[in-house]
Chain A
């Protein structure tokens, strides 16, 4: 009976993980492109996504019962990425060697056959084979140009904007203070003007680079429509029907790496999730740094210092019940207390020149971490208390009998002995925090964050910034996306990634705990 229950649970969990892996890991594999000729003469080219029985049809009749879902891409031409085809309507199905798949920066994928590649209006390569070869040779150059433009935009221009903002705030500050330092203001304004000149220089550099982007590729999509794509909109060209397994594996790896390290594209349905990974890990780490000392100190007080009585019992019950409060309630508290009260107060005190634009008075990674810390505090308190209760009385007495004070005993004997339990609490807290989404949605998570909370600008750690989070990313991509079909594999992949990150963080904590246990091997903890 009990074994059965355990087996059932294990099967459910393994099944869930297997489902996520099956759906998520296949996403990056470049599937073959098929060309379907239909009875009505239409031609559809695309990758096979799934096959299912037509709802309501009779299974006993052979043929004509199934339909397939094809990713035909070319959203800008056809309106939708996916199309259902009844198998009975297909007259011919083949794999044209010329068909290629292009990942674009906008409008999703493109599936078609290359007609020619042009540069500055002149044709440089004609035909599918020649064109593909030429296209692939041009791509690195185009990518380099794009990267250079990006570097200027983010680096130099970003720096200029940042400094201009800072100077404008300086002026505002002077105005608020009311010190009639006219010449000071004039000096700052001169600096701003100087920065404006630099800005013009940098944008000229960008224009220069943009002039280099002259190459276009002309393709025909299934159905005979022609489309010309500027080379800078092309991310990657794949010809799945001619690639071998090794070639496809390389593409798979490349896409996986893009997923892990890149920024999102196309309303998060394409590209990478690096900012979300970063946000999740940073959130959990900040949360841990906050919750551990607070939880441990609270537990030590409850167990070691407070006089055990009704009041302490009530506090203990309240703490335990705190673990059962719905997380959104913590979120609401976070908004009300941390953001409006604490954050708003900080803004009024330290950043009056930026008002009414809030600095800390709006959702941010710090407030989200604090809210999560509050949420996971009971877990840490309870397990620390349990750890303290398990310390043999003899150890404390030994320390006290040597003339140690109560604090010395707590610090040198009880704390080290309770460390494994503290780590257990922290592991549980981290696992809970990494998977929590509801309170984050109102305390600082966003669909797309313009900048990471950690970067090269002073003070490097920007705790007031909004951030991206994998859990929210799943919700956003899966349920808020305009293109649900295209986003679905992304949901699975992101889910898998979130699971992996939770496992990774937890494993790290477990390994630390085991090291501590070994250090105190043989003790009763």
Chain B
């Protein structure tokens, strides 16, 4: 059954498709590798780098106090890949991102139906520990938000919360995280200065380091570069390329060039719907949906 699921892959995902609805299949085998061998177009780079999905969203509907913001979203995020979500403002891409680590729980009047699977388990089930989930699915926000503490304390915050007390363990963890976020060389001499003294780009990388310090598996990035200058943006984009060896990255961006540059897969969203989802090169060069064409050619949005 599971071997016969080619439409699970991002390339074939379409707004009309509801995973698992065919044959009433509810079981999930995240370990199954999905090949793209049946695809006609083998020239797209995406087809060669397909992998196993780490997160999946099935039939997700979300409404804020009765106003529907997400309509029947079905999408899968592959492990160690960068998936970009693009679309005009208010299309629901950030909302979708925030469903993946249940940050929407904080908003009053939110109603969510459908499944959001992480490692095969629905993260909205009552026995799921939200704090554990958020530890595994980290998040970087649009506006860099370092704590008004020292650089060291910022990075050490998460590990401390999760029970790391030993000072030398913390020191090693902070160093590794800062190195992973390509910030170590710039701040190694002033770890105990206030994080608020860093530049915007450094602050954002510090936030990434902070998110990495709790050793997540998935990193959600909500327009991480929208407030940064091009040089800082380039640094973060390079960083994302390095991080994807270890982490799965899901990024929301306004910037289509950025999505094209960094991501392996791209989803285009409009009015709360996932219009098209596929390998990035394919989506940008040869989109299926007319709305996608209109958007990426700049006819609206």
Contacts and interface: CB of A to CB of B under 8 A. Distances in A.
A156 to B, nearest CB: 54
Interface in B47-98: none
B184 interface: no
B247 to A, nearest CB: 15
B226 interface: no
Nearest to A525: B148
B243 interface: no
Interface string A401-433: 111110010001100110000000000000000
Contact of B157 (A392, A402, A519): A402
A399 B147 CA distance: 9
A56 interface: no
Contact of B145 (A394, A403, A416, A521): A394
Interface string B208-242: 00110010000000000000000000000000000
**Interface magnitude class on chain A:** 20 to 34
A245 B147 CA distance: 60
Contacts of A399: 147, 157
Which of A398, A412, A520 has the largest count of B CB atoms less than 10 A from its CB? A398
Looking at chain A's contact residues, is the secondary structure mostly helix, strand, loop, or mixed?
Answer: helix
B132 A403 contact: yes
B101 interface: yes
A355 to B, nearest CB: 53
Interface residues of B, number: 27
A417 B210 CA distance: 19
B211 A402 contact: yes
Interface string B239-274: 000000000000000000000000000000000000
Interface in A365-422: 392, 394-395, 397-405, 408, 412-413, 416-417
A403 B162 contact: yes
A395 B145 contact: yes
Contacts of B197: 522
Contact of A403 (B106, B134, B147, B148): B134
Contacts of B161: 402-404, 408, 412
A401 B139 contact: yes
A418 to B, nearest CB: 12
B131 interface: yes
B180 interface: no
Contacts of A519: 148
Contacts of A88: none
Contacts of A401: 101, 103, 134, 138-139, 141, 211
A521 B103 CA distance: 28
B183 interface: no
Interface string B9-52: 00000000000000000000000000000000000000000000
Looking at chain B's contact residues, is the secondary structure mostly helix, strand, loop, or mixed?
Answer: helix
Contacts of A400: 103, 106, 134
Contacts of B145: 392, 394-395, 397-398
Contacts of B143: 394
Nearest to B196: A522
A310 B157 CA distance: 36
A14 to B, nearest CB: 38
Interface string A459-498: 0000000000000000000000000000000000000000
Which of B147, B158, B162 has the largest count of A CB atoms less than 10 A from its CB? B147
Contacts of B181: none
B182 interface: no
A59 interface: no
B134 A394 contact: no
A41 B133 CA distance: 102
Contacts of B211: 401-402
A450 B224 CA distance: 69
Given A394-B145, A395-B147, A405 B101 contact: no
A302 to B, nearest CB: 16
A406 B141 CA distance: 19
A402 B141 contact: no
B135 interface: yes
Contacts of A392: 145
B209 to A, nearest CB: 12
A401 B138 CA distance: 6
Interface in A493-525: 519-523
26 contacts: A394-B141, A397-B106, A397-B139, A398-B145, A398-B146, A398-B147, A398-B207, A398-B210, A399-B147, A401-B103, A401-B138, A402-B134, A402-B135, A402-B158, A402-B211, A402-B214, A403-B132, A403-B161, A403-B214, A404-B157, A404-B161, A412-B157, A416-B148, A521-B196, A522-B148, A522-B196
Given A395-B145, A398-B141, A522-B194, 5 more contacts: A399-B157, A401-B134, A402-B138, A403-B133, A520-B148
Interface of A: 392, 394-395, 397-405, 408, 412-413, 416-417, 519-523
